[in-house]
Structure formats: C-alpha cells, structure tokens
Structure 1
Amino acid sequence: MASKYLLVVALAAVAFVRASPTQLQQPLSTGDVSTGGGTGGAKDLIYELKKAEIIPTVLDSFDPKLALSVSWENATAHVGNTVAPSETQKEPVVRFVAPAAAMPEDGDESEVLFVKKGMQLTIALTDPDAPSRDDPEWSEICHWIATGVPLTEPTYDDDIVLSSGAISPNAAGASSKDLKTIMGYKPPGPPPETGKHRYVFVALAPKNGTTERLELSKPEGRQHWGYGKERQGLRGWAGENGLVVIGANFIYEQNEEQ
C-alpha cells in the first residue's frame, strides 16, 4: 500500500515539473494580476469595473496583463476608492507591474499575449461623467495621455504593494519628467452638485505587440476627446492608434463643496 502511495506522489511530481515551463509561457489568467481593490486577482478588477459600469460604458471587457498603480503625494487609487480633488491637483506617479511570466524576451507579435520589455506603454485618464453621471453630454473628457511608461519588473514586495493598492516608499514609478506627454494632465474637478465622477486610468499597449516606436496622435479636444459624440473618447482614440487596454484603475471624486 505504501509503495503504491509513493508511486502516485512521484508521478504527480513529474507531471508538475513537466507542466511548469508551458504554464509560464501562457497569457495571464484571470487570477494572476493583483489589482489593489480586491482579494488579489484580475477577476476582482473586472468585477469592480463592471460593478461601477466602467465596463461597458468606457471599456470593453479585457484580459488584464499588468497592475496599474497610481499615486499622488497624499492619495492612492485603490480601484474604486473616493479621493478629494484637492489631493489630485499634481500629475500622479504611475507604476505598471507585470508578473515575470508575462515578460518573455521573445514572443508572438501578432497580438498582445504578453507585455514585453521594450514595448511602448501608455497611460490615459478619462472622465465619463461630465458634467454628471446622469447627464453625460460632455463626456468623455480627456484628462491626460502620456506614453513611455516603463514596465517595472516584479520584486519580492510586489504582492504586498499591489494587493494594498499602494506604492511602497522605495518603489520606483514614472513621473512627468520620464514620460512623453500627448495630452497634458488636467486635474479632476467635478462641478458642484454633480455627484461623484468616475475617473478611469487605463494602461494601453500596441495591439500587434510590436516594440517599435509609436507616434501617437493628440486628440482634437478634451470634450468628447474631439469626436463630438456623447460617451465617446478613449475607445475611439485607442482604436485609431492601434492600442488595446491591458490594465485599469479608477477613483471616485466629488466636489468638496457638496
């Protein structure tokens, strides 16, 4: 009986060892990316985006490839927390972190299966609730587009950092001096008596997976991202520039006079 038990354990161990290299080359599953708002997984992120109606209002459903951390001096985006406008007046520090298994040296460039070193990554911030969520005739409002966000390799502390949604004191991030601005940062500023606004941060990557330099267009205006249609903006601009969503985060803000 004991020998049969040992044989089963040995076979299971061999199967695990053989499977591991293959598993490491697969696209991220829905439980691999910590999001800062739930119990640790992309399922939590997608759930929160759907709960807040960001999916499908602003974004189509997507497969998160990295964690998007956004931090100001006295505030941090926690996937749906409420932040005061006074705390977000300066351009934030952003950090894109992908698990090591999602960063191969070489890979299929036909579509974004992995986040690769050298890939040009972009951050965008949009408000779909202008002037209010019930009356979005000005939306979407483009608040920020910057490109060249570096990809941070995961460290021992990343599970702790990302699960809490905060950036550790020693963690490196991308500040304004590191990025190429496409559309300058316009601080969130919900008008009085318009309720809470959702401010959505999105990480974007080239749809075809290329690591070549991209020349991204600047939207013609902030209101409607220049498209002239209600609740239009991020989707259209990303599509025109060959970009797809690989990560997201969001906060709520409300005029402090209310």
Structure 2
Amino acid sequence: MSTTASLDSFAQTLARSLAEANLAPGSAEALIPREFTPTTRLRIQFDGRDVEHGNLFRVREVKLAPFVSFEAEAGDSSGEASYMLLLIDPDAPTPDDPKFAYWRHWVLPGLKPLASAEGIVAQTKPVLTEYLAPGPKDDSKPHRYLFLLFREPHGLALTKEDVGGEEFVQRRSFDAAKFVEQHQLQLVSVNWMKGAGDGWKE
C-alpha cells in the first residue's frame, strides 16, 4: 500500500472512531479543529501492541512509556520540522464526572522523523512533562486517552515551568486548548485508546 493510500485509510478510520467516541472534529472537548485531516500517521505501541483508534488497554499494559513513530509530512523535504506529542485524558477522574479534564500525562517536544529510517523518530528536546501511566480505577468506566501530535513553530523553546508542574495534582485541569493556541502548535495527527483498571469488568 502506498504512503498516500495508507494515510487516507488511517484518516478515514480515525474520523469514524472519533465520531463514535464523541471526539469528532469541532466538538467542544475534542481539541481537534473541525477541518482537521491528519498529514501523517501517528503510531503508538505499548510493548509491541498498537494503539488503534480506541482499542482497550488495561493499567498493567501501560506502565511504561510507549514507542512513538511517524513519518515526515509530505512537503517537509528539508527535514526541519519538529513536533510535540501530548497525551491527555478528557475523562478524569471518571467519564461521568470529568472535573479534572484535561489530565496531562505526557508532553514530549522536539520530535523529528529520521529520513534514514522509516517511521523512526528522534527526540531533540528535553521532556516537558514526564510520562505518567494512565491509571483509571476499577470502578470507573474506561477513559479515553488522546495522543495529539503537533507541528511546532520554528525555534520554539519551552521549559517544564511553561507547561505546569509534574506533581500528581498539578497535572489535572490542564488547559490544552490555551496551551496549543499560545504556542502556535499545528495539529498534524491523532491517535487514541481507551484505558481501564485491571479489575474493571464490562
């Protein structure tokens, strides 16, 4: 399958899954522009298992940070583009009472796809928010976890203080939309999963 065909298929599957999860582009909580179309395919893997548009992971499966990969956008022949990944939870502490949305789990700037290795990404800047594993309680309905990939403006240099503290309670109620607008981040891809406690029963 060609890269273009693969991206088109990814975009179609993504659009359907976001709509089914009430995360459709343009919705108030989605943080995804109405006109959004992905320009690269974002792959997320936990211990070799792919995140695939809303598939379910248990707490025990996500304790370690996932492997992130994506290819350069079409038109970035210079290889100068740099990207930032956000992992946020719109359902904290529970989907029925998301008073702490968005919960900030991970902010990873300075990602660059390597031209010499398909999909492999180099990290060129320090982590802004260290990875905190999703941990929904067993009595909570599954949470939705959004992986959002943004193109950074040239020369963007942020510190951890620009994002917020990393203590547990400092991660809650993160104003992701304000952060994205303030730093002129351009959304280029999305992936998402559901997360549930190890003891949660359907």
Shift of 1:117: 1.7
> Sequence identity, in percent?
23
Residue 143 of structure 1 corresponds to 105
CA contact (8 A) 2:72 2:79 kept: no
Per-residue deviation, residues 194-223 of structure 1 (Å, max 9, x unmatched): 1100011000113xxx5x321233235311
C-alpha distance 172-243 of structure 1, shift in aligned 2 (>3 A) = closer
Give yes or no for the alignment of 1:252 onto 2:194.
yes
Residues 118 and 41 of structure 1: CA distance in aligned 2, closer, same or farther (over 3 Å):
same
Gaps of 5+ in 1: 1-28, 35-39, 106-115, 159-170, 226-232
Alignment-derived partner of residue 197 in structure 1: 143
TM-score by length of 2: 0.81
**Higher percent of residues as strand:** 2
The amino acid that maps onto 1:143 is H
Cα displacement (A) at 1:47: 2.1
Letter in 2 for 1:250: W
| Contact 2:113-2:121 within 8 A present in 1 as well | no
Aligned length: 186
Match of 1:77 among 51, 75, 99: 51
- C-alpha separation between the residues in 1 aligned to 2:86 and 2:40? 15
Which structure has greater helix proportion? 1
Alpha-carbon offset, residue 45 of structure 1 = 1.3
Q: What aligned pairs does 1:208-247 form with structure 2 within 5 A after superposition?
A: 210=153, 212-216=154-158, 217-219=162-164, 221-225=170-174, 233-247=175-189
Q: Which runs of no fewer than 5 residues in structure 2 stay unpaired? A: none
Which TM-score applies when normalising by structure 1?
Answer: 0.65
Equivalent residue number for residue 181 of structure 1: 127
Q: 1:119 to 1:98 in 2, by over 3 A?
A: closer
Question: Does structure 2 conserve the Cα–Cα contact (< 8 Å) formed by 1:123 and 1:145?
Answer: yes
Q: What is the rounded CA distance, in whole Å, between the counterparts of 2:124 and 2:58 in structure 1?
A: 26
Whole-angstrom distance in 2 between the partners of 1:135 and 1:104: 42
The CA distance in 1 between the partners of 2:85 and 2:44, in whole Å, is 10
Pairing of 1:113-124 with structure 2 (within 5 A): 117-124=79-86
How big is the shift at 1:103?
Answer: 2.7
SS of residue paired to 2:177? helix
Shift of 1:140: 1.0
- Greater C-alpha radius of gyration: 1
